[in-house]
Every structure is written in structure tokens, then in C-alpha cells.
Amino acid sequence: MSKKYVLALDLGGTNSVLGIVDREGKVLATSSFKTQAYPVLEDYVSTCASEAEKLISTYGCEHEIHAFGIGAPDVNYWNRTIENATNLPWKGVVPLTDLLEQKMHLPVRITNDAKAAALGEMLFGAAKGMKDFMMITLGTGVGSGIVVNGKLVYGKNSFAGELGHSTIRPENGRACPCGRKGCLEAYCSATGVARTAVEFLEKDDAPSLLRSMAVDEITSKDVYEAAVKGDRIANEVFRFTGKLLGESLANFATFSDPEAFILFGGLTKAGDLLMNPLKETYDKEVFENYRGTARILVSALKDAEAAILGAAALAWLDASGS
């Protein structure tokens, strides 16, 4: 364990971002390329390897790379593969990890992006020193990574931690893109906030800055901007969202008695508009054993670096025995 750096890859549907990261979570250099430009997996692997070599040689750290960590969607951690990804160019079971290991002669580790984010917070961010916490990512969808006794929870088929698809409104719940109803993601994602705004505008006659927009163009950012200007309906949207998220976290506590919930993603930009009703509801709703025990924190990592740091944390933690 004497090497100084890891390689990290944030493999997204649009962009792939490579980085070199040290033990303290400093991102020394990054490079990015378009994921969709490589419909053939082997071409992607070659590009990835050559981009990594360029970064390494530019930085002059040829013999200092400990391992290579990847955060990606639809990962089967147990099989070390990407499986049936809907937003990536490669179909079926994708042996990216094995191919990169053969090409680069480095230990390569892969996990799902929300799980990588949890490891990033544990090693470099708001969960430093914690062994039991839940990472909740509030973006277009709602993702999660659950850490129990210092380890990510993967489960039998590597699908653990789909808390965005836990049902929070079992009766008359809102339709979720997953085909089910009442999922957390249908309410407490960026799209959920926009949907709540449209619903609130329809059932309330009050004037609102949002009424000047076409309902199908309202975004969570628009709702936030209206809310900070004092718009009543926009404020109610965040109060509602925070309340549902607070109820949900109170429920999640019954699973693993976490030390903290770490929130990440666009919605957290709403700050107190979201966090105040969230914390208030959590404190009110949580089972007595958990009252006052878990902190509700926002990620301590920079947005632009969080995904790379998650992949880097995986490389430091999961390849430590290599």
C-alpha cells in the first residue's frame, strides 16, 4: 500500500471522466471523453487506457498507481460487470472491468455510482470516520448507497439500496417512471419537485411567479428561484418535498440505525427551504430509539469532483489487499 495515487473513472451515459486522485482526495488531473463515441466496448477500453496513460505520463506518476476505480450505472458488483444498462452504448453483460485489467495491468474495481458516492463521502467527505450511514442522491432520480459497519450493502444480486423506489405513498401514490406508484423518486427528485409545483399550481388559485411558465417547462431550479423570491406556492413545494423526505429517512432509520444521512445532488441546493421541513419532520416522525441519534448532512464534496472521488475511494478501499 505504498503507492500514492489511484485512477478513477466516472462512467456516465454522456461523458466519461478520468482522474488521478491521491490518498487525501485531491484530484490531481482529469480528462474526459464522450461515452457514446465508442459503441464498440473494446474501442472504449482502448480509449480509456490511452487517456489514462496520457494523464499518468503528463503527471509523471507511472509507478505510483495503486488501483483503478470505476463508478457506473447498472453495475453487478459481485460479477464485476455492467448489466443491461439503458443509458450506455453496450448491451447485455459488459465485462469492462476484466478488459481494463488485462489492458492496464492494474487491479480494477467497479461499483454503482450512488454506492461509489457513499464511499467518497466516507473516505473524503461528510461521512469521514463513520461506519453506519446512508447516502441519498437527489438528482433527476433518487439513488442511495447504504454503509453498514464500514461496508457497502450489496445484497444477493447487487441491487441493494434502491431506496428511491421504496413506496412512500402506498395509497393513491403518484406514478413513477419505474411503472409503480408512490415511489420516493416520484416526489423527492428534481422531476418530482417540478411535478409537485404543477400539482400545487393546479389546485391553488394564488398568484405565483411560476404561472408565467408553460407547465411542462417548469424545473426544480425554477421552483427554487421562485421560492427564494418569496413565492408562496414555490415555498410550499419545498416544504412538501422536505416533509416527505423527512418521513422517508425516518423509515430508513429502522433498517440500519445510521449515524448519519448524507444528501447529495441538485435538490440540496435548496438549502434550508428543503432541510428545515425535512429535519423537523424527521425529528417528529422517527421511532423513539433513533430520536436525536442520526445527523442529516449535505455532501461535503464539490459537485464536479464527487463522482471521481467516489470511484477513487472504491479503488483505495476495495483494492487495498491487492
Position among 90, 259, 279, 300 found at the interface with a copy of itself (CB under 8 A): 259
**Least Cβ distance, residue 136 to a copy of itself (angstroms):** 12
Task: Output 237 or 250, the one with its CB closest to a copy of itself.
Answer: 250
| Cα dist from 264 to 55, 158, 241, 254, 316, whole Å | 28, 22, 15, 21, 21
Task: Output 116 or 286, the one with its CB closest to a copy of itself.
Answer: 286
Number of residues in contact with a copy of itself under rule CB under 8 A: 44
- Spatial distance between the Cα atoms of 208 and 26, rounded to a whole number of angstroms: 44
Does residue 175 come out as left (phi exceeding 0), alpha (psi in the -120 to 50 range) or beta? beta
Position among 251, 276, 279, 317 found at the interface with a copy of itself (CB under 8 A): 251
H-run or E-run covering 282: helix 272-285
Site string for a copy of itself, 202-241 (x = CB under 8 A): ----------------------------------------
| Cα dist from 238 to 212, 245, 271, whole Å | 19, 10, 10
- Spatial distance between the Cα atoms of 44 and 42, rounded to a whole number of angstroms: 5
Task: Output 16 or 189, the one with its CB closest to a copy of itself.
Answer: 189
**Least Cβ distance, residue 280 to a copy of itself (angstroms):** 15
Number of Cβ within 10 Å of residue 208's Cβ equals 20
Residue type, 322: S
**Least Cβ distance, residue 130 to a copy of itself (angstroms):** 8
- Spatial distance between the Cα atoms of 81 and 98, rounded to a whole number of angstroms: 8
Task: Output 257 or 272, the one with its CB closest to a copy of itself.
Answer: 257
Q: Does 79 bind a copy of itself (CB under 8 A)?
A: no
Site string for a copy of itself, 291-310 (x = CB under 8 A): --xx----------------
Question: 138 to 177, contacts with a copy of itself by CB under 8 A?
Answer: 146, 148-149, 151, 153-163, 165-171
- For residue 259, what is its C-alpha cell? 449515524
Q: Does 128 bind a copy of itself (CB under 8 A)?
A: no
Name beta bridge partners: 146: 134
- Spatial distance between the Cα atoms of 281 and 259, rounded to a whole number of angstroms: 18
Does residue 210 come out as left (phi exceeding 0), alpha (psi in the -120 to 50 range) or beta? alpha
**Least Cβ distance, residue 134 to a copy of itself (angstroms):** 9
Position among 34, 180, 229, 302 found at the interface with a copy of itself (CB under 8 A): 180
Q: Does 256 bind a copy of itself (CB under 8 A)?
A: yes
Q: Is the dihedral of CA 124, 130, 131, 135 positive or negative?
A: negative
- For residue 147, what is its C-alpha cell? 454503509
**Least Cβ distance, residue 243 to a copy of itself (angstroms):** 10
Task: Output 146 or 315, the one with its CB closest to a copy of itself.
Answer: 146
**Contact set with a copy of itself (CB under 8 A):** 131-132, 146, 148-149, 151, 153-163, 165-171, 178-180, 247, 250-252, 254-259, 285, 287-290, 293-294
